């Protein structure tokens, strides 16, 4: 079986720096203006996609700024011309009828470049303090499955009647429908058994948190073996990249980020206390020392230019199509990746 076409994406900096919050080379900045410049530059450099994580308040340190995902996605849809725009969504925050309409609106603005990334929440205070509540892990996935069963046909332009445990929708149709394709693409995050079942049944792409190749191969094998209706599932991987001319230089840069990240220990302790302990992401992240979010450097993309390219080829051969990447300092290292790694992988 041939490897899938390789795609490169970046995480939008919705809550500032990804590895360390007190880096003199990357002062904290989660503003709209910075993210606009960043994603326009990513498009110019040849990146294929951007993921805009959704939080209403900063999950690392509540007093700090937090970019709003869906308004930013709509604005970026109008400003860009080629890059895929993925907005994350926590189902408890939006009624599915309203969310489907928003998604179709951004799909029209982008002319067929929009996607949603379904995540079932891990940051307890974000929902609890709003009075929404924070059900247990599997209950959140049950809610998300029913929620998506409303959103998906509405994004297709179908007329929907749905009588479920949580939603009651009668004879509902959204217009205008999607003129560019059947509907926006659906990414699903999470690695628990309910998450795997959900993406196999209803997703287009499974986002896997950064972790070693053997673990990623096992995850892909598990989900690929599940019954599925429709096109084959695609796979994406989150990863933090540190690439330099030599491995020694890359490891020195990693050590620098570890030292800076240590300054955030008090903030990270609060974040861990706010995280659902039943989240598989949290359990996976605790296995390997790393910097960066969603697995960060645990995927092993730290080394010389050739080493990083070779490791990405191995992940691609295992089935990873989309690499959703993080860097620090972000703009400079994103440009380095485009100059040094992309040609090695696309040449």
123-146 per-position pLDDT tens digit: 888 899 999 999 999 999 999 999
87-129 per-position pLDDT tens digit: 999 999 999 999 999 999 999 999 999 999 999 888 888 899 9
What is d(CA 232, CA 234) in angstroms, rounded to the nearest whole number?
7
* CATH number (domain holding residue 62): 3.20.20.30
234-250 per-position pLDDT tens digit: 999 999 999 999 999 99
Q: Is residue 139 part of a domain?
A: yes
The pLDDT assigned to 268 comes to 85
The pLDDT assigned to 123 comes to 85
Is the pTM higher than 0.85? The answer reads yes
Q: Is residue 1 part of a domain?
A: no
Q: How many other CB atoms are found less than 10 A from the CB of residue 257?
A: 23
> What is the tally of structural domains in the chain?
1
Residues in the chain: 347
Q: What is the mean pLDDT of residues 26-42?
A: 97
What is d(CA 18, CA 291) in angstroms, rounded to the nearest whole number?
8
What is d(CA 34, CA 153) in angstroms, rounded to the nearest whole number?
35
Estimate the crossing angle of helix 305-318 against helix 213-224, to 10 degrees. 20
Q: Is residue 2 part of a domain?
A: no
The pLDDT assigned to 156 comes to 98
Q: What is the mean pLDDT of residues 10-39?
A: 96
Q: Is the pLDDT of residue 193 over 60?
A: yes
Q: What is the mean pLDDT of residues 160-168?
A: 98
- State what percent of residues in the chain have pLDDT above 70: 97
What is the overall mean pLDDT for the chain?
Answer: 95
The pLDDT assigned to 73 comes to 98
CA-atom Rg of the chain in angstroms: 19
Instruction: Give the CA diameter of the chain.
Output: 62
Do residues 330 and 38 lie in contact, with contact meaning Cβ atoms separated by under 8 Å? yes
Q: How does residue 342 score in pLDDT terms, banded at 50, 70 and 90?
A: very high
What are the residues facing 206 on neighbouring strands? 188, 235
Q: How buried is residue 333: exposed, middle or buried, by Cβ count under 10 Å (0-12/13-18/19+)? A: buried
Please name the residue ranges forming H helices in the chain.
Answer: 32-45, 69-79, 96-110, 124-128, 137-155, 193-202, 213-224, 247-262, 265-274, 280-285, 305-318, 330-340, 342-346
The pLDDT assigned to 260 comes to 97
268-322 per-position pLDDT tens digit: 887 887 787 766 666 665 677 899 999 999 999 999 999 999 999 999 999 999 9
Q: Which domain holds residue 94?
A: 7-346
Q: Is the pLDDT of residue 208 over 60?
A: yes
The pLDDT assigned to 278 comes to 67
What are the residues facing 51 on neighbouring strands? 11, 86
């Amino acid at each position: 079986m041939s490897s899938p076409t390789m795609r490169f994406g970046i995480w939008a900096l919705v809550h500032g720096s990804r590895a360390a919050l007190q880096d003199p080379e990357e002062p904290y900045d989660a503003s709209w203006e910075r993210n606009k410049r960043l994603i326009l530059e990513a498009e110019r450099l040849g990146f294929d996609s951007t993921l805009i994580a959704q939080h209403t308040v900063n999950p690392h340190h509540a007093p700090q700024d937090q970019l709003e995902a869906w308004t930013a996605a709509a604005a970026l849809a109008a400003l860009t011309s080629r890059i895929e725009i993925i907005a994350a969504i926590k189902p408890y925050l939006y009624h599915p009828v309203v969310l489907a309409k928003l998604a179709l609106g951004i799909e029209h603005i982008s002319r067929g470049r929009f996607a949603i990334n379904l995540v079932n929440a891990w940051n307890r205070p974000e929902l609890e303090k709003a009075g929404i509540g924070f059900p247990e892990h599997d209950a959140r996935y049950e809610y998300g499955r029913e929620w998506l069963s409303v959103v998906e046909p509405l994004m297709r332009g179908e007329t929907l009647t749905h009588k479920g445990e949580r939603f009651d929708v009668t004879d509902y149709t959204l217009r205008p429908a999607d003129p560019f394709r059947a509907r926006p693409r659906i990414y699903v995050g999470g690695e628990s058994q309910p998450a795997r079942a959900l993406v196999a049944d209803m997703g287009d792409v499974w986002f896997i948190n950064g972790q070693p190749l053997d673990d990623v191969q096992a995850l892909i094998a598990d989900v690929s073996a599940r019954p599925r209706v429709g096109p084959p599932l695609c796979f994406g991987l989150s990863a933090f990249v540190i690439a330099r001319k030599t491995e020694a230089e890359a490891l020195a840069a990693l050590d620098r980020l570890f030292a800076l990240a240590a300054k955030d220990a008090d903030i990270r302790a609060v974040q861990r206390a706010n995280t659902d302990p039943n989240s598989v992401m949290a359990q996976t992240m605790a296995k390997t020392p790393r910097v960066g979010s969603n697995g960060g450097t645990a995927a092993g993309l730290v080394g010389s230019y050739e080493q990083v390219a070779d490791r990405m080829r191995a992940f691609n051969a295992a089935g990873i199509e989309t690499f959703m990447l993080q860097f620090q300092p972000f703009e400079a290292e994103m440009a380095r990746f485009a100059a040094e790694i992309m040609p090695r992988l696309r040449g």
